[in-house]
Amino acid sequence: MATSRVATADDHLVPAPHPGVWHESILFLLTLTAAMPLLASLLSEDAAGHPLAVFAPLLESRLYRQLTGALGFGLIAFQASLSARRRLGAARRGLWRRWEGWHRHAGVPLLLVALAHTGGRSGYNLNRWLLLCLLVMVLLTQASHVLKAHLWSRARPEAHPRQADLRRNQAANSDEGWLHQAGLQAHVMLAAALAVLLLFHVWSVYYFG
């Protein structure tokens, strides 16, 4: 997909980083909808109570829990592998651009797998922190995509942008922009915490049986 470009206050060109505000907003609503049962469980005092009725009979099967857990682990590993794109040469840039698109759209499937695996229960202790970390990372990331798409749309030439619009777009959508860098660092820290908690979760499941 070709990207449009806009001139910034410093006469730099910033590529359009998203399909559009409506696309990102709809994706955020889907993400929030998938997260709602898990958020409700986190806010409940009975975190390890009854699962959602549709998942209750399935959770009786150890094989089902293992398969959904493995699928969730695989999705998270796939997401983490995006960092490897920097090691590839220019000849593979098209492939990794598509890979990055898949990475950005994997939040909803990941939350649905988490919902299926837990039955809508957040659990206790590290399991609770694992789920909280996942929800914060996915929702914060998608909300930032909506904001960045909005700021980019305001900086388009046909929108007759002001200098303030250009500066905000530069901050949000350029690689060196402070808003982009702040969001990136927050995402990396949450992803690292998620990876550690996930490994503890896998170890505890198989160690304690």
The pLDDT of residue 16 is 61
State the chain's mean pLDDT as an integer.
83
Question: Residue 178 sits in which domain range?
Answer: 16-40+51-208
What proportion of the chain, given as a percentage, has pLDDT over 90?
51
Q: Round to whole Å and give the CA distance between 200 and 129.
A: 11
């695996």: which residue's tokens?
117
d(CA 183, CA 3): 22
Identify the band that residue 77 occupies on the pLDDT scale cut at 50, 70 and 90: confident
Task: Summarize pLDDT for 102-152 with one digit per residue, the tens.
Answer: 777 888 999 999 999 999 988 888 899 999 999 999 999 999 999 999 999
Residue 59 in any domain: the answer is yes
Cβ contact 172:158 at 8 Å: no
Q: Which two tokens stand for residue 208?
A: 């304690």
Number of domains in the chain: 1
Is 7 part of a structural domain of the chain?
A: no
Residue 8: inside a domain, yes or no? no
Q: Hey, is 5 helix, strand or coil?
A: strand
pLDDT, mean of residues 47-59: 84
> What values do phi and psi take at 48, rounded to 5?
-105, 30
132 lies in a domain? yes
What local confidence, expressed as pLDDT, does residue 11 receive?
Answer: 42
Position 191 in a domain? yes
pLDDT of residue 19: 66
54 by DSSP, 3-state: which?
coil
Contact 141, 121 (CB under 8 A): no
Instruction: Indicate whether 3 belongs to any domain.
Output: no
CB 30 within 8 A of CB 143: no
Euclidean distance between CA atoms 115 and 120, whole angstroms: 5
Q: How far apart are CA 174 and CA 165, in angstroms?
A: 13
Q: What is the pLDDT of residue 96?
A: 58
Q: Sorting pLDDT into bands at 50, 70 and 90, what band is 38?
A: very high
